[in-house]
Chain A
Amino acid sequence: MASLKLPYLATAALSGALFGAGLYVSQMVDPLKVLHFLDFTAIPSGGWDPSLAFVMVPAVIVMFIAVRLGKRRQAPLFDTAFHEPEYKRIDKRLVGGAALFGIGWGMAGICPGPAISLIAFVPDNLWIFLVTMLIGSLAGSLVIPSGHSKRLVDAQ
């Protein structure tokens, strides 16, 4: 199985390491920074911090180039196929799920990447967020029809 070979795992490790460094350097790991970015009510007073808008743009550009490069190849370097999501429909599940996530993100200023990244600092209450995030994820998989789930799972 490709996913247990050394180059495959080394790639996963390199990607994870770059991701962790990026989350720290960009300050996405700081929930207060994130909340100040999401706080549009502070725009009139000049207190809004737009910094994190500058995270998404280069990230998308770099990945866009990678996707273009990938299209020239039959397969990635260490696996037999690109695991691209097959499901294309925009449905209630997508919108509802994104909305629920939006509430959670706006409440704590923590999205899944920084939730993991923050483990490095051992903050007091982080475990609560991590455990409930896993419970929420498990609960979510119960309400998704299995056929739908299967098509999406391979893509993740």
Chain B
Amino acid sequence: MESFTPLTAALGGSLIGLATAVLWLGNGRIAGISGIFGQLLPPAQTVVWRLVFLVALVLATFVTAKLFPGLGVGGVEPARLVEAPASWGVPTPVWLGIAGLLTGLGTKIGNGCTSGHGVCGLARLSVRSLVAVAVFFGVAIITVAVTGVV
């Protein structure tokens, strides 16, 4: 299969694991992006490091994309990537808005996302995270099947 990219996936996954390891051993913090993002607004007392982390994340994505064009987005025009997912005749902006709302709400209530529960939680052998990962993966798979966004 042309689109099957296990090597770059594993390399990228190793970098993500390294990222979470650095934050854990350096600062004792879990690199869960939903948590880092969700507490950006004051009065959170730890806004500064969260901002530094997120700005570095965006800059590194930009630089890596410049160094290795086409690698990360499969040759698809990045600006079009966020246009694509829509289904049931719902306009893309509305579809994305609902998706964003559910993502923010769900990760806040469930206290984590793919990185916090998926990488850090599983590595900490947290049963809570294992349950969360099973649920959000399962529901996402069902959602794709039901909505037919692909």
For chain B, the count of residues having a C-beta within 8 Å of the partner chain is 125
**Please, which residues of chain A bring their CB within 8 A of the CB of B123?**
60-61, 63-64, 66-67
Q: Which residues of A contact B143 (CB under 8 A)?
A: 38, 102-103, 105-107
* B contact residues around A125 at 8 Å (CB): 82-83, 92-93, 96
From B13, B81, B106, give the contact of A22 (CB < 8 A).
B13
Across the interface, B58 reaches (CB within 8 A) one of A14, A60, A119, A131, namely A119
Residue contact B53 to A101, C-beta cutoff 8 Å: no
Q: Once bound together, how far apart are the Cα atoms of A1 and B97, in whole Å?
A: 37
Closest Cβ–Cβ distance, residue A80 to chain B (whole Å): 8
Against A, the Cβ 8 Å flags (1 = close, 0 = not) of B1-29 are 10111111111111111111111111111
Main secondary structure of the interface of A (DSSP, over half): helix
With contacts A101-B107, A107-B147 taken as known, whether A15 is within 8 angstroms of B79 at the C-beta atoms is: no
Interface residues on A, range: 35 or more
Of A36, A56, A112, which is within 8 A of B103 by CB?
A: A112
Cross-interface CB contact of B97 among A19, A85, A132, A156, cutoff 8 Å? A132
Q: Which of B37-69 contact A (CB under 8 A)?
A: 37-41, 44-46, 48-50, 52-65, 68
Of all chain A residues, the one with the shortest Cβ separation from B31 is A15
Tell me the nearest residue of chain A to B149, going by C-beta.
A35
A37, B7: Cα distance in complex, Å: 15
Chain A contacts of B73 at CB under 8 A?
A: 27, 29-30, 33, 121
Which A residues lie within 8 Å of B115 (CB)?
19, 111-113
Pairwise interchain contact A106-B110, C-beta atoms closer than 8 A: no
Is A63 in contact with B48, judged by CB distance below 8 angstroms? no
Known: A17-B57, A30-B76, A100-B105. A108 touches B95 (CB 8 A): yes
A19 to B36, CA, bound (A): 13
- The CA of A105 and the CA of B135, in the complex, are separated in Å by 12
7 additional contacts, CB 8 Å, given A19-B15, A31-B84?
A3-B46, A11-B26, A27-B72, A122-B79, A133-B101, A136-B103, A138-B41
Q: Which B residues lie at the A interface, using CB under 8 A? A: 1, 3-41, 44-46, 48-50, 52-65, 68, 71-74, 76, 78-85, 87, 92-93, 95-111, 113-120, 122-124, 126-128, 131-133, 135-145, 147, 149-150
Supply 21 A–B pairs (Cβ within 8 Å), ascending by A. Answer: A12-B53, A16-B19, A16-B55, A17-B60, A26-B13, A49-B3, A59-B17, A63-B17, A63-B119, A85-B30, A90-B127, A113-B33, A115-B37, A115-B103, A116-B54, A119-B58, A134-B37, A137-B37, A140-B104, A140-B105, A156-B29
Which 5 pairs, one residue from A and one from B, show the smallest C-beta to C-beta distance?
A97-B110, A26-B12, A136-B104, A106-B143, A102-B139
